[in-house]
Structure 1
Amino acid sequence: MPEGHTLHRLARLHRRRYRGHPIAVSSPQGRFATSAEVLDGRVLERTEAHGKHLFHHYGPDLVLHVHLGLYGTFSDVPRPVEPPRGLVRLRLVGPSHFADLRGPTACELISDVEAAAIHARLGADPLRRDADPERAWARISRSRAPLATLLMDQSVIAGVGNVYRAEALFRHGLDPLLPGRALRREQWDALWADLVALLREGVRRGKIETLRPEHDPRLLAPPDRGAVCARRVYAYRRTGQPCLVCGTPIAHSEHLARNLFWCPTCQPAAAA
C-alpha cells in the first residue's frame, strides 16, 4: 500500500499541474460517472493530503476524496490525451497533462463536513504543518499496545505504513513489541522527528530510502556497486539477510496480519 509520502507527492503534483484551471473530469469505467459530471469543467481550487488520503477541493461542498488502498495508482501523462487503457475510474484533463486513476479503494465526491470528519479521525501526519505530535504521544504513552501496532494505527499517526514502521523502529533501536506506555518521552521526540525527516525525504525522492550515510553503500570509498541496488533499507523485506549494522539475520513474523521485520540484536526485547 502506498505510504504517506506518495499521497503528498500526488497532492503537490496535482497542485502544480491542475490547480487554478477548469478540469475536464470523466469516468471511463463508469463507476464515478455521476460525480464526474458534477465536477466536469470546474476549477480545481486546492489539493491536500492527510496520511494516505488525497483531497481535491473544487468549491463549497465539492471535495474529491481518493484513497489508493492496496492497488490504486494515479498516472500523470503529458497531453495530447490518449484513449483510456484498462479500468480507469477517474480521468482528469488539465491544460498540459492528464491523470488516470485506477483501482482505488475510495474515489468519491463528498461535502466539506464529510471531509472534515475524515481529517478528524486521522492522527498526526508528519508531513502536515498542522500535525499535533502531542496528541499522538498522549495516545501512545497511555497504551498497552505494542509500537508495531501504534505506528500503523492511522488514528494515531497518519501516513506511516509497513516500510516506515520497520525502518523507524530499527533506526531508533526499538523493539516492535515494546508497549507504547514503556516508551520514554525522549525516545518519542526522537522517533517523531525522524519520521518527519524520513517522510520529507520520501516526498523529495519519490521512494523510501532510510540508510544513514555510514551504512549507505553508495557513499563508501570506493562505492560498493554490487550493493547499491540491493540496499536501500535496514530491515524491511530483508528476512534472513545480515543486519547492515551488526550482522545478525533480520527476523520476520506476522503481526496483525502484516509482515514485521526487525533485528533482534539492534532492537532487543525489553527486560520483563
Structure 2
Amino acid sequence: MPEGHTIHRAARDHRKIIKNRYLAVSSPQGWFEDGAAWLNGRLCEEVEAYGKHLIYRFEGETFLHVHLGLFGRIRKRKLPEPEPRGAVRIRMIGDTHLIDINGPTVCEILDPDDLTKLTSRIGPDILRSDADPEKVFARISKSRSSIGKLLMNQAVLAGIGNIYRSEILWRQGIHPDRPGKDLSRDDFERLWADAVHLLEIGVKRNAIITVDEAAPGRGRYRERVNIFGKRSCPTCAGGITQVEIDTRKAYFCSTCQTD
C-alpha cells in the first residue's frame, strides 16, 4: 500500500496538470461508468491528499474519492492519448496530460456530507498544514496500545506506513512495543518532527529515504533505509529483529531501541 508521501506527491503533481481545467473523464474498464459520466466535462477545482486518500474536487460540490489500497496504481501521461494499460478504472484527460488509475480499492463520488464523514474518520495528516499534533498526542497518551500499532492507525494519525513506522521508531530509539501512554511528551515531539521531516523528503524525492544525507537508491522503489528488511543495525552492528504487528512486518534493534 502506498505510504502517505506517495499520495501527497500524486496530489501535488495532479494539481499542476488538471486543476482549473475541464476534464474528459471515462472508465475504460467499465466499472465506473456512471461516476465517470457524472464527472465528464466538469471543472476540476482542486486536488488534495488526506493521509492515504486522494480527493479531487469538481465544480458543483462534487468530489472524487480514490484510495489505492494494496494494488491500486496511478499513471500520469502526456497527450496525445495512449491506449489504456490494464484495467483502468478511471481516466481523466486535461489539455496536456491524462491520469489513469488502475485497481483502486475505492473509487467513488462523494457529496460534501460524505466528504466530511470521510475526513472525520482520518487522523491528523502529518503532511497537511492543518495537522494538529495535539490531537495525536491526546490519543496516544491515553492508549495502552503499542506505539508500533498506533503509528499505523490512520484514525490516530494519517500518512505513516509500514516502512516509515520501523524507521522512525529506530531513529528515535523507541521500542515498537512501548505503550502509547508511556511515551513522554518529549519523545512524541521528536517522533512527530522526524515523521514530518522524513515524509517531506519522500514527497520531494519521490522515494522513502530515511538515511541522513542519502540520495535515492537504484532499485525499483529507490528506497534508502536503515533497518527495514536489514540484518544488522548500522549504529551498533547488532542483529535486527523482525516481528509482526497487526499482520505487517516490522523491524527493530533491541540494543538501540529501549522500552
Q: Identify whether the pair has TM-score above 0.5, normalized to the shorter chain.
A: yes
Matched, 1:188 2:180: no
Matched, 1:112 2:102: no
Cross-structure match for 1:244: 234
5 Å-filtered alignment, 1:153-168, equals: 153-168=153-168
5 Å-filtered alignment, 1:123-162, equals: 123-162=123-162
TM-score (norm 2): 0.96
TM-score (norm 1): 0.91
Q: CA deviation at 1:233?
A: 0.7
Shift of the 65–252 alpha-carbon distance from structure 1 to 2, 3 Å rule, reads same
SS in 2 for 1:75: strand
User: Take 1:167 and 1:77, find their aligned partners in 2: how far apart are those partners?
Assistant: 33
Cross-structure match for 1:223: none
User: Take 2:125 and 2:133, find their aligned partners in 1: how far apart are those partners?
Assistant: 8
Cross-structure match for 1:70: 70
Check the 8 A contact 2:208/2:223 in 1, yes or no. Answer: no
Cross-structure match for 1:173: 173
Across the aligned residues of Structure 1 and Structure 2, the Cα RMSD in angstroms comes to: 1.5
Q: CA deviation at 1:228?
A: 7.9
Check the 8 A contact 1:26/1:90 in 2, yes or no. Answer: yes
**Letter paired with 1:243:** C
**Letter paired with 1:207:** A
**Letter paired with 1:65:** H
**Letter paired with 2:199:** L
SS in 1 for 2:44: coil
Cross-structure match for 1:257: 247
Specify every segment of 5 or more residues in structure 1 that has no aligned partner in the other structure, as ranges.
219-226
Matched, 1:234 2:212: no
User: Take 2:234 and 2:149, find their aligned partners in 1: how far apart are those partners?
Assistant: 25
User: Take 1:228 and 1:23, find their aligned partners in 2: how far apart are those partners?
Assistant: 35
5 Å-filtered alignment, 1:24-103, equals: 24-103=24-103
Check the 8 A contact 2:5/2:159 in 1, yes or no. Answer: yes
Shift of the 64–231 alpha-carbon distance from structure 1 to 2, 3 Å rule, reads closer
SS in 1 for 2:92: strand
User: Take 1:78 and 1:176, find their aligned partners in 2: how far apart are those partners?
Assistant: 43
In the comparison of the two structures, how many residue pairs are matched? 256
Check the 8 A contact 2:144/2:180 in 1, yes or no. Answer: yes
User: Take 1:228 and 1:119, find their aligned partners in 2: how far apart are those partners?
Assistant: 36
Q: Which runs of 4+ in 1 moved over 4 A?
A: 227-231
Cross-structure match for 1:221: none
- Percent sequence identity is 44
Check the 8 A contact 1:60/1:112 in 2, yes or no. Answer: no
Q: Could you give the per-residue CA deviations for residues 149-189 of structure 1, whole angstroms, max 9, x where no partner exists? A: 00000011101110110110000000000000000001101
User: Take 2:229 and 2:77, find their aligned partners in 1: how far apart are those partners?
Assistant: 31
User: Take 2:194 and 2:14, find their aligned partners in 1: how far apart are those partners?
Assistant: 27
